[in-house]
Amino acid sequence: MKTYCINLVRVAAIVLIAISWTVPALAQEPLPSWNDTAPKKAIVTFVERVTRQGSPEFVPEAERIATFDNDGTLWAEQPIYFQLALALDRVKELAPLHPEWKDQEPFSSLLKGDLKGALAGGEPAIFEIVTVTHSGMTTEEFEKIVRDWITTAKHPVTGRLYTEMVYQPMLELLAYPRANGFKTFIVSGGGIDFMRVFAERVYGIPPEQVAGSSGKLAFELRDGKPLLMKLPTLNFNDDKAGKPVGIQMHIGRQPIAAFGNSDGDLQMLEWAKGGGGVRFALIVHHTDAEREWAYDRTSSIGRLDKALDAAQAEGWTVVDMKNDWKNIFPFGSK
Amino acid sequence: MKTYCINLVRVAAIVLIAISWTVPALAQEPLPSWNDTAPKKAIVTFVERVTRQGSPEFVPEAERIATFDNDGTLWAEQPIYFQLALALDRVKELAPLHPEWKDQEPFSSLLKGDLKGALAGGEPAIFEIVTVTHSGMTTEEFEKIVRDWITTAKHPVTGRLYTEMVYQPMLELLAYPRANGFKTFIVSGGGIDFMRVFAERVYGIPPEQVAGSSGKLAFELRDGKPLLMKLPTLNFNDDKAGKPVGIQMHIGRQPIAAFGNSDGDLQMLEWAKGGGGVRFALIVHHTDAEREWAYDRTSSIGRLDKALDAAQAEGWTVVDMKNDWKNIFPFGSK
């Protein structure tokens, strides 16, 4: 049998290359856009505690479920929810087909450019605007409407695409638990069909890991081709006490970590904290009027009042955007 | 620099071991419990076509969604749906708390041991039995009820645990696409909370990949502890035209393959076949009275009538259990 002489350094190099193929790149410092303040430390400590093999706090990968709100948590929500901006654009496009809207609120005000007047009707007005613009078409047609809009419409303040208005620190906060065996889900009051169009590309979250509000659907065959029609009826409101329900329906496991920013997330955070073992709840507090927006207890969009009290009482992690985040958006700030 | 002399055979062995760690064991012959008849060939051909790199028929992994019915497709459903067997056992256990059931159908017949009389009321009777046994407790309490039952109750004909009454060929048909980058989902008329208790252990399908029928839930805090109450109201019937709706709500992508056994699966199969590119639809036809059960067009459980016509008209794959399966259950046959 022939033997060969081999340089040990070369063998070591080959072994190292082989290892680098098999062991996922262990992240450099996690959460680079976060300052070294309490929230970053709390996140890293939590992830390390539940992933430490042999520790009594260890959580198996299958149970490492983390749920994230979308509006105001993963992307901005000012001056109005982005999905509502889509709905308003659609009302203008559809107006020629609806001459009756001229004398009918909230459409009448809206078409005159009076957004405040249109929204004076509160949630019923918003619900009507969303309903007429989100039903009466197939799921495939709606997906195309969203895709066309989301790749062209610009944010009124920054002039950026809405999908650029995502928080860089939160993109890192999706990636970091994921790199540690977590499965990340969106659980949002926003429309499930709306978010699924961009969630995979923007957040790395596939459609099957998006839970949200929805209208009823009807299956039918049209000329032999199956389709799903979007009906003008609410199916599920995935907000407030609906969030734990949406989580159970969609995921079927209690999350061990949840991330939100408003009173709409309170029950989701309670639900995540309510199970046994080590749990994590985090609230993004919008405190940076210069780089983003500053609002909380009295805002009509993303009100944070009861959930802020709960966070303080329960010791949940509260992110002060101004002090805890180095960057806001991938492109910088407002 | 020091050099070492190494035997080339030993180096080759080490490299081979390293490769065997990194490359997933490429399956031996797939579907070993399937005879080499048309259905096995059709399945293998389909999987090979959509996974062939560079082919115009190639489907990216993220879109390789396969949906499976449960009752009669993954496990047996005779002489009655297994979840109904749980409900009947629960009625007996709960009877002392409900003296009024003595004079109230379907409970009265049921408690006298007259199953046929109890079920004479048809779907409303079944719905009532399921409702009283599947609501009025928390999701956590219900999970415990199911876990206790499913690990002890025995099938009336075989004396086996219900989770042993799964079809060995179908377990292989879950594993084979999964080993080829597919994500497998259950989409069943059965209860979502019921199936999730055993789906991971028995089928390798995690709770978040189980879609099914459900009752409404209510989130509440009891002594500060969050919980979800199961209410006596139907939330969603994941059967027939409900299946494509359940798929859209839960998965948000049109499956490229679907597997069923009854008219309840017809629309799911149509939906899977309705998209572009290469698609696959399969029906398990219960033809083996000796090793399992034989039933189709006139059965009250798992009726296969319209879907069998559709399969023949559309050229879907129909499994003749008697001729196409070498084995039925992991333990043998009935």
**How many residues would you count in chain B?**
334
B213 touches chain A (CB under 8 A): no
User: Which of 232-271 (B) contact A at CB < 8 A?
Assistant: 235, 241-242, 244-245, 248-253, 267, 270-271
Q: How far apart are CA B189 and CA B300, in angstroms?
A: 15
Model confidence pLDDT, tens digit, residues A147-191: 999 999 999 999 999 999 999 999 999 999 999 999 999 999 999
A138 Cα to chain B: minimum distance (Å)? 12
User: Which of 296-315 (B) contact A at CB < 8 A?
Assistant: none
CB contact under 8 A, B1 and A9: yes
- Amino acid at residue number B59: V
B157 Cα to chain A: minimum distance (Å)? 32
Q: How far apart are CA A207 and CA A193, in angstroms?
A: 9
Task: Pick the residue from chain B with its C-alpha nearest to A199.
Answer: B252
Whole-number pLDDT of residue B20: 46
CB contact under 8 A, B210 and A249: no
Instruction: Give B-chain residues touching A23 at CB under 8 angstroms.
Output: none
User: Which of 139-198 (A) contact B at CB < 8 A?
Assistant: 139, 183, 185, 192-193, 196
Model confidence pLDDT, tens digit, residues A190-208: 999 999 999 999 999 999 9
Chains A–B, number of C-beta pairs less than 8 Å apart? 124
B13 touches chain A (CB under 8 A): no
Classify each residue of B132-157 as buried b or exposed e, where b means 16 or more C-beta atoms within 10 Å of its C-beta: bbbbeebbeebbebbeebbeeeebee
CB contact under 8 A, A252 and B192: yes
Contact B314, B281 (CB under 8 A): yes
Instruction: Give A-chain residues touching B227 at CB under 8 angstroms.
Output: 274
Residue A46 has pLDDT above 70, yes or no: yes
Q: Say which of B7, B248, B250 has its CB closest to residue A3.
A: B7
Q: Say which of A192, A208, A274 has its CB closest to residue B225.
A: A274
**One digit per residue, pLDDT tens: chain B, 334 residues?**
444 444 544 544 454 444 444 444 454 789 999 999 999 999 999 999 999 999 999 999 999 999 999 999 999 999 999 999 999 999 999 999 999 999 999 999 999 999 999 988 888 898 899 999 999 999 999 999 999 999 999 999 999 999 999 999 999 999 999 999 999 999 999 999 999 999 999 999 999 999 999 999 999 999 999 999 999 999 999 999 999 999 999 999 999 999 999 999 999 999 999 999 999 999 999 999 999 999 999 999 999 999 999 999 999 999 999 999 999 999 999 8
Distance set, CA B178 to CA A209, B181, B265, B282, B326 (Å) = 18, 5, 21, 17, 22
Whole-number pLDDT of residue B10: 53
CA angle A219, A222, A226 (to 5 degrees): 45
Model confidence pLDDT, tens digit, residues A280-329: 999 999 999 999 999 999 999 999 999 999 999 999 999 999 999 999 99
Whole-number pLDDT of residue A7: 52
Other CB atoms within 10 Å distance of the CB of residue A9: 11
CB contact under 8 A, B226 and A241: no
Contact A149, A86 (CB under 8 A): yes
Instruction: Give B-chain residues touching A1 at CB under 8 angstroms.
Output: 7, 9
A137 touches chain B (CB under 8 A): no
Instruction: Give B-chain residues touching A228 at CB under 8 angstroms.
Output: 244-245, 248
CB contact under 8 A, A245 and B219: yes
User: Which of 82-121 (B) contact A at CB < 8 A?
Assistant: none
Model confidence pLDDT, tens digit, residues A262-287: 999 999 999 999 999 999 999 999 99
Task: Pick the residue from chain A with its C-alpha nearest to B14.
Answer: A15
Instruction: Give A-chain residues touching B192 at CB under 8 angstroms.
Output: 249, 252
CB contact under 8 A, A209 and B209: no
Task: Pick the residue from chain B with its C-alpha nearest to A14.
Answer: B15
Contacts of residue B74, defined as CB under 8 A and 6 or more positions apart, other chains included, come to: B68, B166, B167, B170, B171, B174, B186, B203
B4 touches chain A (CB under 8 A): yes
Task: Pick the residue from chain B with its C-alpha nearest to A217.
Answer: B245
> Which residue out of A249, A266, A267, A306 would a mutagenesis test of the B interface target, given it has the greatest number of B Cβ atoms within 10 Å?
A249
Q: How far apart are CA B314 and CA A249, in angstroms?
A: 34
Residue A5 has pLDDT above 90, yes or no: no
Task: Pick the residue from chain A with its C-alpha nearest to B204.
Answer: A62
Contact A269, A260 (CB under 8 A): yes
* Predicted-complex ipTM score: 0.91
Classify each residue of A133-157 as buried b or exposed e, where b means 16 or more C-beta atoms within 10 Å of its C-beta: bbbeebbeebbebbeebbeeeebee
CB contact under 8 A, B219 and A251: no
A94 Cα to chain B: minimum distance (Å)? 26
Whole-number pLDDT of residue B122: 86
B251 Cα to chain A: minimum distance (Å)? 4
Q: Is B198 helix (H, G, I), strand (E, B) or coil?
A: helix
Model confidence pLDDT, tens digit, residues A219-259: 999 999 999 999 999 999 999 999 999 999 999 999 999 99
Whole-number pLDDT of residue B4: 46
Task: Pick the residue from chain A with its C-alpha nearest to B183.
Answer: A208
B299 Cα to chain A: minimum distance (Å)? 25
Split at pLDDT 50, 70, 90, the class of A10 is low
CB contact under 8 A, A270 and B226: yes
B8 touches chain A (CB under 8 A): yes
Task: Pick the residue from chain A with its C-alpha nearest to B207.
Answer: A252
User: Which of 44-83 (B) contact A at CB < 8 A?
Assistant: 62, 65
